[in-house]
């Protein structure tokens, strides 16, 4: 697509007629916009160069100004921060760089005053190797030893100890790490500091349910569940008591240390995973039975569409309300044709159960920013797709402004995905730091993010002209378009209306929403 032209046309075919809402009443999460906040990069309240909870609280009026009704916070639990919060050492505590439990409770209270729901990031697949659980396991505590996945190594022909099999970590290298304290290897599908939890142990299942109950009891309105399709490994008893090697993927563009070198048929998308999600939904619904408020579950799964939609539930059990739809991240970019866009949009709508809603995600903390992938000229058009298609819109902080990836040098790189390449030239292909650079509030020092002399990641270049303050003051801006789209979502045609679309040629994608006597056409070129 070469450029973008937005042509919203509201056609009221019989404008004097008042529409009667004959559709079912929609739940709160079905009509809102979810806004992802990466706490470390959003707003720093104490000048240490790191975003925090009080910083988020101070910016809730901005969230309200956008027309957003729910914020989703990336992990803010206690952590050694090797993977910046996704290595949790205490699931029941707030990370000290981000604040205190009192700060979190104040955030919930202030958000409630603004009518904003708060959703947290649940990381159930693993914990930190600095957690009490793992340290107790190393000290011989049998209960906590069984919280993790342990395996004997293999002695090779030279008498050297080797990992149990060829499984690869998402962060390169073996997914197994040896510990002298127990004389075995533990499984870590992610970084070495993130030992996998053993969901074949009922104690682990109950522990995670208690964690969910704890935070829902604090007033949280739901969870986004991280890496959920990695929860279970194949049952090794089906293979004579030994975990089998995974087959080669056949990809020639990756090296043997890469996660993508293998086809992960034994470490992802196991059948038991869906049942675990259904059990968690039961816990969510315990709270709804008490006060009538639905707690929302959003699942992060990069998998086939057939596997993704199974997280909605089955004929007997309900699962996640929002299995994330990543097709607008994985399937299309600036080089895509209108037909590619149409296919990516229609795919989720086609495969999802007819009684379930869609959702639209174009960016997050793990993927290059939307404005970088699609190009700045398509920012308004992509936001129009996200916010005006049937279903729930999900926005990664800064997408409303058209923020782009920031440059982070090899010396400043902190993301283990980049650091583990040990490649000062090509690290940028793996690092997630560029999409995590600080939020751009104004043209002042550090884009108004922090008063510190040095921020945890450098602020992106060009922030002086691309920030909230500039776009708020402008007659026309990405932010103004975003606000208009958020307001338009409240209309019945977007809440209840039907949808169809057409790729008119290689560059023109048109979709329309219509409800009774109201028709709205949008075209994106």
Collapsed DSSP state (helix, strand, coil) of residue 136: helix
Q: How many CB atoms lie within 10 A of CB 284?
A: 21
* CA–CA distance, 419 with 412 (Å, rounded to integer): 10
Specify the DSSP class assigned to residue 174: B
* CA–CA distance, 459 with 433 (Å, rounded to integer): 11
List helix spans (H) across 218-326: 271-291, 305-308
Spatial CA neighbour of 298 closest among 362, 357, 224, 215? 224
Clarify whether 226 is annotated catalytic: yes
Phi-psi region of 99 (alpha: psi -120 to 50; beta: other; left: phi over 0): left
**Inter-CA distances, 294 with 179, 212, 216, 384, Å:** 43, 14, 11, 27
Specify the DSSP class assigned to residue 458: P
Catalytic residue among 87, 151, 177, 226: 226
**What is the side-by-side strand order in the sheet with 150-151?**
150-151, 184-187, 176-179
Spatial CA neighbour of 265 closest among 229, 299, 227, 301? 229
Q: How many CB atoms lie within 10 A of CB 6?
A: 14
Q: How many CB atoms lie within 10 A of CB 147?
A: 22
Which residues contact residue 414 at a Cβ distance below 8 angstroms, ignoring those fewer than 6 apart?
84, 433, 456, 457
Catalytic residue among 52, 300, 405, 433: 300
340, containing H or E segment = helix 338-351
Please give the span between the terminal C-alpha atoms of the chain, in angstroms, as a whole number.
7
487 and 510 Cβ atoms separated by less than 8 Å? no
494 and 417 Cβ atoms separated by less than 8 Å? no
Spatial CA neighbour of 85 closest among 47, 111, 53? 53
118 and 219 Cβ atoms separated by less than 8 Å? yes
Alpha carbon of residue 420 to chain centroid: 22
Active-site positions read 226, 300
């Amino acid at each position: 697509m070469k450029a973008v032209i937005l042509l919203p046309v509201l056609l009221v075919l019989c404008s004097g007629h008042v529409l009667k809402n004959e559709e079912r009443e929609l739940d709160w999460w079905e009509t809102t916009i979810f806004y992802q906040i990466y706490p470390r990069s959003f707003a720093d309240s104490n000048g240490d160069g790191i975003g925090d909870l009080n910083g988020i609280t101070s910016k809730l009026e901005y969230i309200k100004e956008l027309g957003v009704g729910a914020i989703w916070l990336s992990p803010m639990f206690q952590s050694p921060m090797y993977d910046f919060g996704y290595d949790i050492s205490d699931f029941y505590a707030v990370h000290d760089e981000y604040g205190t439990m009192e700060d979190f409770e104040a955030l919930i209270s202030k958000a409630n005053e603004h009518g904003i729901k708060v959703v947290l990031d649940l990381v159930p697949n693993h914990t930190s190797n600095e957690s009490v659980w793992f340290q107790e396991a190393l000290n011989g505590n049998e209960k906590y030893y069984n919280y993790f996945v342990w395996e004997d190594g293999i002695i090779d022909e030279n008498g050297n100890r080797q990992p149990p099999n060829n499984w690869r970590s998402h962060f390169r290298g073996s997914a197994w790490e040896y510990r002298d304290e127990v004389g075995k290897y533990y499984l870590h599908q992610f970084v070495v500091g993130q030992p996998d939890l053993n969901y074949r142990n009922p104690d682990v299942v109950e522990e995670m349910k208690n964690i969910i109950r704890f935070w829902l009891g604090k007033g949280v309105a739901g969870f986004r569940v991280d890496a959920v399709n990695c929860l279970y490994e194949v049952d090794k008893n089906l293979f004579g008591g030994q975990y089998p090697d995974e087959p080669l993927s056949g990809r020639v563009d990756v090296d043997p240390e890469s996660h993508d070198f293998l086809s992960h048929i034994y470490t992802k998308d196991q059948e038991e995973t869906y049942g675990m999600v259904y059990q968690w939904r039961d816990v969510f619904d315990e709270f709804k039975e008490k006060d009538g408020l639905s707690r929302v579950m959003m699942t992060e799964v990069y998998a086939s569409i057939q596997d993704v939609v199974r997280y909605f539930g089955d004929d007997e059990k309900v699962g996640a309300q929002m299995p994330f739809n990543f097709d607008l991240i994985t399937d299309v970019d600036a080089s895509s044709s209108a037909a590619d866009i149409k296919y990516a949009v229609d795919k989720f709508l086609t495969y999802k159960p007819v009684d379930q809603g869609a959702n639209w995600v174009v960016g997050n903390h793990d993927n290059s920013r939307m404005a970088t992938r699609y190009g700045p000229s398509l920012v308004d058009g992509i936001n129009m797709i996200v916010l005006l298609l049937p279903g729930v819109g999900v926005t990664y902080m800064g997408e409303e402004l058209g923020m782009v990836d920031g440059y982070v040098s090899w010396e400043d790189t902190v993301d283990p995905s980049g650091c583990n390449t040990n490649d000062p030239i090509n690290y940028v292909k793996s690092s997630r730091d560029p999409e995590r650079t600080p939020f751009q509030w104004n043209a002042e020092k550090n884009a108004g993010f922090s008063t510190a002399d040095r921020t945890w990641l450098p602020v992106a270049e060009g922030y002086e002209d691309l920030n909230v303050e500039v776009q708020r003051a402008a007659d026309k801006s990405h932010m103004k378009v975003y606000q208009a789209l958020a307001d338009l979502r409240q209309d019945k045609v977007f809440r209840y209306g039907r949808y169809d679309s057409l790729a008119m040629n290689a560059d023109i994608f048109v979709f329309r929403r219509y409800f009774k006597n109201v028709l709205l056409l949008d075209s994106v070129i």
